[in-house]
Copies of this chain bind each other. A is one copy, B any other.
């Protein structure tokens, strides 16, 4: 029976397959009870109160003694305290020995005035408020049927529907978060700098909150209350879409340095294998991308909170470490106001998959950031100003993280999953990587990359990370379409709004 121990200091390991009581492990240890796949086995007799160590990190302290070969899970473990945010050491773990990337360019759509190039050529139609979505969706179906086929160089038309915009406290302390998110979302490089904003006319999120004075004109903004009924609205929407499609139709891919690419890393439905297969492979791909000049973004505040000191150590500047602490503190307080804390994060699926608590989940989650230095920390939906590895402080919720990373300008997202999700984003390709080979066997036509081969010994982290790097470049260049893009499996956008609704 193969088991995996991540770090030399670890006093637990996990079995690659479910292992019944009595199984003899490599080295002779006998299992005292049935151990589900990926759950933790005590490697020696552990006393009550003793630290359980995985990834070289203390996950928590035992609530009762566990003998060698016994099971350790969420019921036997008291979580270690959250790391302090004040006075974290920074810059103490700056790695410059990143691996060399096999290629240095991709084929993207440059956008004048923008750092990042597009990976697809899409008409993105932004809304100021959900009130317009009904009309827009009907018009969108017509646009796709009647207009899109006449513009063969345009990949898609996407309505950026959202539930912000009215019935919200638009002057609330935190209202800048959803507003900034929407403003930047409509500027994702895949939309080619073309602005098509559909408003109602009486909403709180007025067009000037999303557009600059030079953009605020009838070429870019269509207000439904200015039009004489449904048919006139539809006709005006079709007309405006066509004008934008004409401009987008002229876009062509160019060979560009990887510095014009922004890649988002996210994980969801994690299990105990996520942190030793899919996420480290993504981390290696991230290091290759960063080494080649690309920008890579990782996120999910509640999933890194318990490893924040490890991230601070990788920040290149004090200001970056301070912003990291400030974003974490903001989220601590946001959760506290709702009467919860970081322990609200792990899901039933996480626990079933062997993750005992948020600390274990965090260690696995952070693995997707590789080893590169952190050059910038972004508030949710902010755009990066530097190339390299960036922490974007979004919620961990898959669809909220995805939406806010889109706002930050990603052109490809890599999504690591343990339990499996059919997640996809309409504006960009999403590459899905699973942590276990049986997931790939189950969902052969939904999972793009099987990182379970690392657990079975069929691939190294470096090999799989390099393969993933090539997949990212190919997807960005339009040479590969991940499964979600092929089937058009798209989640709804979900902008982060921590402010009250009215």
Contact = CB atoms under 8 A, between A and B. Distances in A.
B130 A347 contact: no
A490 to B, nearest CB: 5
Contacts of A94: none
Interface stretch (A69-77, A199-207, A364-372): A199-207
Contacts of A163: 163, 399-400, 492, 494
A202 B347 contact: yes
B340 A395 contact: no
A490 B424 CA distance: 23
Given A130-B399, A502-B397, A335 B202 contact: no
A335 to B, nearest CB: 5
Most buried by B among A233, A399, A442: A399
Copies per assembly: 2
A349 interface: yes
A134 B423 CA distance: 7
Interface stretch (A33-41, A82-90, A168-176, A251-259): A168-176
Interface stretch (A20-28, A97-105, A414-422): A414-422
A10 B420 CA distance: 64
Contacts of A500: 334-335, 337-338, 340, 344, 498
Given A166-B397, A335-B502, A423-B134, A172 B230 contact: no
A445 B231 contact: yes
Contact of A200 (B170, B201, B202, B269): B269
Interface residues of A, number: 83
Contacts of A203: 347-349
Nearest to A162: B492
A399 to B, nearest CB: 5
A305 to B, nearest CB: 10
A266 to B, nearest CB: 11
Contacts of A501: 395, 397, 400, 496
Contacts of A342: 502
Nearest to A403: B163
A416 B302 CA distance: 42
Interface string A158-191: 0001010011111111100000000000000000
B419 A202 contact: yes
Nearest to A174: B338
Contact of A349 (B169, B201, B344): B201
A385 interface: no
Contact of A400 (B167, B334, B397, B487): B167
Given A163-B399, A206-B348, 17 more contacts: A131-B398, A133-B492, A138-B488, A138-B489, A167-B396, A167-B397, A167-B398, A167-B401, A200-B419, A202-B350, A203-B349, A204-B347, A230-B489, A334-B500, A335-B500, A337-B337, A338-B498
Which 3 pairs of residues, A with B, have the shortest CB-CB distance? A202-B349, A167-B397, A134-B489
Interface of A: 130-135, 137-138, 161, 163, 166-174, 200-204, 206, 224-225, 228-231, 233, 268-269, 302, 334-335, 337-340, 342, 344-345, 347-350, 352-353, 395-401, 419-424, 442-446, 483-484, 487-492, 494, 496, 498-502
29 contacts: A130-B492, A130-B494, A131-B269, A131-B398, A131-B421, A133-B491, A134-B423, A134-B490, A134-B491, A135-B422, A138-B488, A161-B492, A166-B347, A167-B395, A172-B339, A173-B339, A202-B269, A202-B349, A202-B352, A202-B421, A229-B445, A230-B445, A337-B337, A338-B498, A338-B500, A342-B502, A345-B502, A396-B502, A397-B502
